[in-house]
Amino acid sequence: MKTTFVIVLIIMLAWIVFRDGRHIDWKTGNARSSVRDIVVGVAVYCEERNGISDLLSNQSLGVQQADEIVAILSLNASDEILAKKNPERRRYLDWNAGLKAGLKDPWAESFMIGWCQDVVSEKGQSKSEIYTFLVWSKGPNRINEFGKGDDVSSIKIMSLSSGAMHGGVSGRANP
């Protein structure tokens, strides 16, 4: 019984590492894990605070480095920023700045976030803000390809202003 379990475990690990016919190096795996952490942190933040608008700049469309967002979610931002954007000092991202190399990706680059805001309303109902956002690492070539190329990215995430979240994280660096 133990032998069968070990064999199945080895096969599962080999499939994870070598799926799609290529080996996933530790940096790509680490970037994928970090992107997933950021997405989950943003999702929980949105759920508890009814939206993402106070994390993003006041534009309806944008791309920015995610340094400040990561710092807010991990409580590594200044007291002034935390007072405005996370006054409860709730940790949404369990990163220690020293362990995550200054909250950067494995290639020492900032994570990126892009978003689009839409306002929708139906007859007789109030308007709702819907945000679609994407989180990514610039990947091994350190070039911002906006979640494409060798970038390691989440799939699109939608956040209704009511806090409902939909989406996930891609399984590998985008081809």
Whether 67 shows a pLDDT value over 80: the answer reads yes
Condensed to tens digits (0 to 9), the pLDDT of residues 41-61 reads 888 888 787 667 777 766 677
Percent of the chain with pLDDT over 70: 63
Kind plus residue range of the DSSP H or E element containing 109: none
pLDDT tier at 64, thresholds 50, 70, 90: confident
pLDDT of residue 156: 63
Q: Does 37 score more than 60 pLDDT?
A: yes
Q: What is the pLDDT of residue 136?
A: 92
What is the predicted pLDDT for the residue at 164?
A: 45
Task: Flag whether pLDDT at 85 surpasses 60.
Answer: yes
pLDDT of residue 94: 82
Of residues 22 and 167, the one with the higher pLDDT is 22
| Sequence ranges of the domains in the chain | 25-166
Name every residue whose Cβ is closer than 8 Å to that of residue 113 and which is 6 or more positions away in sequence. 38, 56, 63, 64, 65, 66, 69, 133, 134, 135, 136
pTM of the model: 0.70
Question: Is residue 138 scored above 90 in pLDDT?
Answer: yes
* Mean per-residue pLDDT over the chain, rounded: 75
